[in-house]
Amino acid sequence: MSKNLFLAATATAALISTSALANSNTVVLNQNGVDNVSLANQVGTGNTADAINQTGDRNSSTLDQIGDNNFFSTGSYAQDGNDNIQTTYQEGSDNSSIVFQVGDLNEAYVNQLGDGNESTIDQGFQYGAPTVNGSGNYSNVDQQGNENTNFIDQHGDDNETYVEQIGDENYNDAHSDGHNITVDVVQVGNGNFNDIYSSTYTNNNNSFDINQDGNDHSSDTRSDGDFNTVIVDQFGGNNNESDIDQDGNDNLANVSQNGSDNESDLLDQTGNNNSYDVSQIGNGHESIGSSIGNDNSIMISQYNGNDNFSSALQTGDFNQVTLTQDGSLNVSYVTQTGNNNIFTGSQVGSGNSSTVTQ
């Protein structure tokens, strides 16, 4: 059976449902206003959907594409306004999905199980000008295996993002802009990397929690302002690294890396209630740090063996550093320049060395 569908509608109170079983499937749909709903299901061969744009009012859209050359879009400002929800599910072959939702109660869920996965969700559509829109954003992406990638941008209002990528070439990029931002990313195995950058539009209640289990971990975070927190765990083995940089307000960053070529690096938290807490248990440890101003503290522990090194550097206000490196090629430098400096150290076994300036 071969079915090729092109649907275009400008409708009030529209519900369109379509399904295609095999061969060169395509669906294109446009709906303009009031009770929009759309469902599409395509089972095998050339799947595409290429549009599905719904402009205003009670929008919702659901799409399943089960096998072969899947792709989906809802480009050109996509669901645009009012009670948006979008659900996508793509099972196998060259998956891709793109969802844009511009304003009001946005939600979007995507689930891609195997092969060429990629996903993009943008829930506020800020390209260059202050076209911010946004509203109740929430996103949820789950990608199980093969060439995973994902980007989510959220821009304004009640943002949340959850992403989980279980195996193969994982990569994620979150970007969140402003208001009650929360992001939670879990990547279990293979090429992991993550990047979150929170942008501006005056940020607000940031929090990120990243958790990567095995293989080529890396993480990279930048944060800007308000209640920042970042926690990164990169467990039991392979090329851990983390890199965080936060600008202002109630900062904290907490990194814990369990085994393999660990490194952390905070280089700056700049201002307000800073703290940085690192614990790296085995293999290539290194840490560095910095803090610049306000209620600084840095605490490091790099335990029972391998290549420890640390450096702390803090410039002003209530500074404090606490360090413990238990075994192997320990080294430490600490430099704290102004206000209530305190340092407490301890390096138990192997190549110890230290330099402290306060």
DSSP secondary structure string for all residues of 10-73? --BS-EEEEEE-SSS-----EE-BSS-EEEEEE-SSS------EE-SSS---EEEE-SSS----
Q: Going residue by residue through the chain (358 aa), what tens digit of pLDDT does each one get?
A: 333 322 333 333 344 455 545 578 776 667 777 888 877 777 777 777 776 777 778 887 878 788 788 888 776 556 677 888 888 888 888 888 888 888 888 888 988 888 898 888 888 765 555 556 778 889 999 998 899 999 888 888 888 999 999 999 999 998 887 888 899 999 999 999 999 988 666 678 899 999 998 999 999 999 888 899 999 999 988 999 999 999 889 999 999 998 999 999 999 999 999 999 999 999 999 999 999 999 999 999 999 999 999 999 999 999 999 999 999 999 999 999 999 999 999 999 999 999 999 9
- Residue 282 covered by a domain: yes
Sequence-separated (6 or more) residues with CB below 8 Å from residue 346: 323, 324, 325
- Residue 293 covered by a domain: yes
- Residue 306 covered by a domain: yes
pTM exceeds 0.85 = no
Distance CA 82, CA 55 (A): 9
pLDDT at residue number 68: 82
Residue ranges making up the domain that contains 342: 246-358
pLDDT at residue number 311: 96
- Residue 290 covered by a domain: yes
- Residue 171 covered by a domain: no
pLDDT at residue number 218: 92
pLDDT at residue number 131: 59
- Residue 354 covered by a domain: yes
**Overall number of domains in the chain:** 1
- Residue 241 covered by a domain: no
- Residue 99 covered by a domain: no
Distance CA 54, CA 84 (A): 9
